[in-house]
Every structure is written in structure tokens, then in C-alpha cells.
Structure 1
Amino acid sequence: MMRNTYLLALLLFAFIANALAGAASSSVLDLTKTADFEATVGKQKGALVEFFAPWCGHCKKLAPTYEELGDAFASKKDSIVIAKVDADANRELGQRFGVRGFPTLMWFKPNSLEPETYDGARDLTNLKKYVEEQSGKRAQNKPAVPSKAVQLDSNNFNSIVKDSNKHVFVEFYAPWCGFCKKVAPVIERVAAAFENEDDCVVAQMDADNAANREFLTANNIEVSGYPTFRTYPKTKKDTPEKFQQTADMDETEAKMIEHINSHCFTHRIVGGGLSDLAGRIPLLDTLASRFYVSDPKKDERKNIVEETKSFVERVSKSTNASDAKNAAAAYYIKVMDKTMDEPSYLERETKRLASLMKKHTEGTSVLVARKYDDLKRRSNILASFAKKEMSEKAREAAEKITKGKDEL
């Protein structure tokens, strides 16, 4: 019995602590109770009060902006109050000040209960400006953190999105969109994951901005809801592919990365790393496997090297080629040449790269992101030489090469 009572006490304490923590985390005072309102408004501090109703769509839309407004004046709590009143729960208080619709914003001067109704725009910029004008106090602006995603507008859209050297993934959003705010951290993580992929761009565009909206309409770019995601591949700028997010943010992030990989021919994983397939070229994998299982004492290995070089030279200038693929192909050849001169090279180089990557992971040595990516790609290619099972596909690959199906 005492144990149950003790557990109930702990649960009650946790509930109260969480409630207090939730209240403390907001810079907007809840003055729904008449006693709280009268103890705060009409005193020595100026107050902006939002009269709202929980079921009101416009109120829900304003809520995150109003929280930001509270944060902007949090350092001025000695002279300014940013507050809210649930006028559906306390209708008497709403009626007292003539509230007829939701949300209604009213400014109460210090020592006055005669409000001025705010009828301006409800974006953060205009709300801050209004409070500053009424109070004579300046809002505290949070320093902007540069986004990893490229920010598009009517001036740079074509130069970035229509660049035939880039695959571009775009989120069209609206600042007031609740789901856009929810997906924003996902976009940041995805943009960070691809920031070192030179021909792959993750971008955002405020499609509700007047100039941007006019540009999209003029160019027949339909954005019917927020957020809208589209991929503009290098060779299909006029027929972008849609991406559909899900309500699960973890699932959306994984699917978004998979989607971008499929267009950019990359192998990024959630968290920004590279998979074990990064840098690998399937047809060259089969040649590497044939090289690995061939007899070093016979001409067979030498012939495979010449076959590989001939193939790479032939396809390096194809439309499907890229700097990254050509660099990877060159590394396959380098490994073959080095191993021809020094049979132990493959094992020694594999151990060397593994050691460098381990030191980076453990923090004893720090590598820049691009350098670590390069080590990972090279390690993956080295691993392809040791995959004996790949040799079973060697004949098929050789036949494809002979028939002229030259693709990296």
C-alpha cells in the first residue's frame, strides 16, 4: 500500500514538474484566468494580449509566430507583457473588451484598461514593429543560423534549378505552414547530408512570398499546397519529379535521402555518411574481382588491367560519365597497377585507410568531411577486389563490355 502511494506521489510530482517546465518554456503569459489578467494588465507594464479560441484555424496559424514574438521581447519582461487569453474558456473576459472574432490582438498601455485593437499584418516583422512603436523598446533579434539548404527566390531560381550540371531537389514552403515548420529540421539534415556532393543541390523557396509567387505563376510552376517537393534532374528540367512526404519525420528523412540518391547517383545515408556502395562502379567491380582471383604469375592479370583501361577510356567521355565516376574509375586502375608492382599493396592500403578512418571516428585525428568521404569511397573500391563471389559475374560483365554496353 505504501509502495503504491509512493509511486503515485512520484507520478504526481513528475506531472507537476512537466507542467511547470512547459509553462516556463513559453515567453507568452497565459492570462485566461480573470485574476491573472487583472493582476497583470493595466498595471505598470504595457501589454499585447491575444484573445483566441483553441478551435480557431487562424489562431493555430498565428500561434508559432506569437511564441516567437514573446521570445523577441523576453528580455524586456520588466516593461512589456506578451500574453494570451483563451476567450472561449473565459468568454466573460472577451466580452468585456468587445472581442467579436478570433484571434483579436489588443495593446494595453501601462496603467490603462482601454485597449487599442491591432489590425495590421500578423507576421513576426510587423508584430515586432508594432510592439516597438507602442512600447518604445527594441526587440531582441536572434542571430540567424545559415541554412544548409540553398535559398531560392525569383532572381536566382533559373540559374540554380535549371543548371544542367546539377540535380536539384526543391522544397516549396510557406512561413506560416505548420507542417513546413515540422519538416524544416529534416530539410536541414538532408541538405547537410548532401552538402559535399558537388552536382547535387538541396534547396528551399518561400512560395508564399509575393515576388516568388508571381514568378512561379508566370513560369507555370504550380504549387498547390505546402510543402511541395520536386526534383529537377540534370536532363529533365522541364519535367520535375514529385516527392511525397509522410507524417513520420524519420521515415520522411530516410525516403527523401533515398529519393535524392536515386537522382544524383549518390549513396548517402541518414546522418550524412556514405554507404558501402559509395564510389563503386558495378562493371568495374566485376573486373576488380576477376583481377583479384586471377593468377599473378600469368598474363591473365595483365590482360584484365588492359581490358579495364580500355573500357574506362572508352566510357569516360560518355554522356553518363561524371568527374566523380571518372575519379573512381581511375582509382580502380591505380589499385590494379600498384598491385601488379607490389602484390601486398591491396592488403596494406586497406589497413592504412581503415586506420585513418578509425582515428577520425575515435576523435584522435580529425579529417575534413570531404577527405573522410574520399577515404570511404576508396575503402569501398578496395573491398570490391576482395569480393570473390563477384568473380561469378565476371564473364557476364566481360560480354557486356564486348558488346559495347559501355556504362559506368
Structure 2
Amino acid sequence: MRTEKRKRSPGNTVLLSLVLALKWFGADDSTKSDPYDGGRELNDLAAFIEKSSGVKSNIKPPPPPETLQLSYRDFDEVVMDPENDVLVAFTAPWCGHCKSLKPTLEKISKTFKPDSKCIIANYDADNAMNKDIAARYQVRSYPTIKFFPKGSSNKDAVPYDFGRSEADFVKFLNEQCGTQRAVGGGLNELAGRLPTLDSLAQSFYSADKAARETIYTEVKAAGENASYYVRVMDKLASTGEAWIEKEIKRLDGILRKRSMAPTKLDEIKKKVNILNAFLEKKVEDIKEAVEETAEKVKEEL
């Protein structure tokens, strides 16, 4: 049922708007109806019909959200943990802008899930039990987004005043959390690489046997961080330069399928990045490419 609302503007113009009205007609008496004033989401409607009719719904419940749902019970435990970087969206269930933001929060929550100390959370600030904490952080409109940096158990909230696209959030969180995530998930082209070792890797690739031995010794002395660089050098020495491009192609195929656990895919992406270092794809060039890709994605969104 649609109802028409008339309202006069300051210029005496009549403004018309249509409001969708929902009513419930029971099986016992079809002449009587009760207005429905609940939520308009599928689950809200299904729950109301199930309760009113007594017929159990066969609609499958949605999967749990990727975004951490906080309440007054666990807000301080999570947000004030000195080891956690936490981005909190203070929202309200009825807020249209909050509903529009939700899919983006879900995407970035999934992207940063492997980084357990970089947390994206939602807080229902309109819930009566949650309002004291919302007031603590001067939440007066929805959504209000604040960042709580690690390092203290008595954190000051930092207002998030940047764009609200997926690319904007990924860029901000990478800077704040020290992560190297890519828009759409996974790691970006910089992950796993060290500029000093990259320089040695590039020299090794084109060096003669005597020079390679000197470079190899220097890289091996760098310790655990250099372990894959050392492994690649061993492979190059035993199988030749053609191995690198074949290995990159093989690993890229695994990354495209995305059939492994996120942590395993991260390991593979780091290997691909280091292999590219031997082919003289410099960190400076990669940084520029990453930034250009982020800007392109942002424009498309």
C-alpha cells in the first residue's frame, strides 16, 4: 500500500512524496490488519512473518559479517588493547549512509583479516546500552569513523576524515597499521621486499661467477629476512636464469586461483615480489605502480 504525503514548501508549492506502507492481514479475519513498522531487510521481514504466522522460514541466515561487531561489553577490551590498531565505524541501524558504507567495510575487513592486529569494527551507537561509549567519543551523527592507534591502553580517538571508498580505506590502514594490503585483497607489489637486498639481487642476476659468490655471502649474512633471496640465488646458480620467469608464471597461476588459505597466498605473493626484484623491477617503480593502481580503482569506484 502506498500513502501520499503532502507538504507545502516556503514558496507555497505543494510537495508530494509516496511512502510504502506494509500491513499484516491474518488468516482468521481478512478485514482487519496490523501495520508493520519493522525493518525492511529480508531477515526483518522473514522474522516478522514467521512470528505472526507460526510458519517457520526456510530462508538461510546470512553468513556472519567480516566486520567485527562491538558492543559496550567488549569495546574497551578490543579497542583499548595496546597491541591493536582499530578502525571503528559508529553507526545506527536506520542510517542510510551507514547501510551504504557496510559493503565497503565488509570488503576491507576481509582484506585485512590476515593482519590480526589491524581491526575493522562496527559499533551500533544507537543502541541504548551502547550510547555511553558513543557519547564518550562525541558521536553525534552517523556514520562517525574513528581510528584508535596501538601503543597505549588509554587511546585517544583520531577522527577519520578521508574518502570512504575501498581504496581510501586500504591506503589509510596500510599507513597506520604498517601493512601492505592491496585493494580487492591480498598483498601489494611491495610486500616481502627489502630495498638493500633488491639491489644485491639485481647485481647477482647479471654478475659473473666470482662476483656472485661475494654477493651471495653478503646476502646470506642478512639473516632470516634474506632467506628467500638466498634460495633464489641457489636456484639461479644451479638451473640458470630461465628458472625465474617460469617460477613467477607458476606462482602467479596459484595466486589467480585463490584456492589456498589467505596466509599461504600471502607467502606466495611475497615470493613473486622477490623474484621480480631479480628482474630489476625496482621498489621505486613498484611504489609508483601501486599508487597508480590505487588511484585507478578509486576513480572506477
| TM-score normalized with structure 2 length | 0.70
Residues in 2 aligned to 1:206 and 1:269: alpha-carbon distance in whole angstroms: 28
Task: Give, in whole Å, the separation in 2 of the partners of 1:240 and 1:304.
Answer: 47
Structure having greater relative contact order (Cα 8 Å, sep ≥ 6) = 2
Matched, 1:380 2:273: yes
- Listed one character per residue, the Cα deviations across residues 110-140 of structure 1 (whole Å, up to 9, x for unaligned) are 324xx8889xx9668999998888x554684
- Aligned match of 1:241: 158
CA distance, structure 2, for counterparts of residue 287 and residue 54 of structure 1: 75
Instruction: Give the Cα–Cα distance (whole angstroms) in 1 for the partners of residues 282 and 185 of structure 2.
Output: 29
Distance 1:175 1:349, change over 3 A: same
Alignment partner, residue 191 of structure 2: 278
User: In structure 1, what is the Cα distance between the partners aligned to 2:30 and 2:91?
Assistant: 39
> Contact 2:255 / 2:269 at 8 angstroms: preserved in 1?
no
Distance in structure 2 (CA, Å) of the matches to 1:229 and 1:54: 36
Q: Is 1:342 equivalent to 2:262 in the alignment?
A: no
User: 1: distance between equivalents of 2:79 and 2:110?
Assistant: 18
Cα RMSD for the two superposed structures: 4.1
Distance 1:116 1:146 in 2: 32
Distance 1:178 1:202 in 2: 20
Residues 1:296 and 2:209 are matched in the alignment: yes
Letter of the 1:370 partner, please give it. Answer: T
Query: Contact 1:293–1:388 (CA<8 Å) still a contact in 2?
Result: no
Query: Is 1:200–1:264's contact at 8 Å kept on the other side of the alignment?
Result: yes
CA distance in 2, matches of 1:368, 1:150: 20
Rg larger in 1 or in 2?
1
SS at match of 1:203: strand
| Runs of at least 5 residues in structure 1 that lack an aligned partner in the other structure | 1-29, 33-51, 56-62, 81-108, 314-325, 391-408
Aligned to 1:256: 169
Task: Name the residue aligned to 1:174.
Answer: 92
Secondary structure at the aligned position of 1:342 is classed as helix
Tell me the secondary structure at the aligned position of residue 183 of structure 2. coil
Q: 1:111 aligns with which of 12, 31, 35?
A: 31
Q: CA deviation at 1:235?
A: 2.7
How far apart in 1 are the matches of 2:44 and 2:215?
A: 70
State TM-score, norm by structure 1: 0.54
What letter corresponds to residue 244 of structure 1 in structure 2?
Answer: D
Question: For the residues of structure 2 that align with 1:376 and 1:193, how far apart are their CA atoms?
Answer: 14
Identity of aligned residues (%): 31
Q: Structure 1's 150 and 360: CA in aligned 2 closer, same or farther, altered over 3 A? A: same
Q: In the alignment, which residue of structure 1 is the partner of 2:260?
A: 367
Partner amino acid, structure 1, of 2:31: N
Partner of 1:403: none
The one-letter code matched in structure 2 to 1:223 is V
- Please name the residue that 2:291 is paired with: none
Q: Residues 371, 354 of structure 1: CA spacing in aligned structure 2 closer, same or farther, 3 A cutoff? A: farther
Matched, 1:228 2:124: no
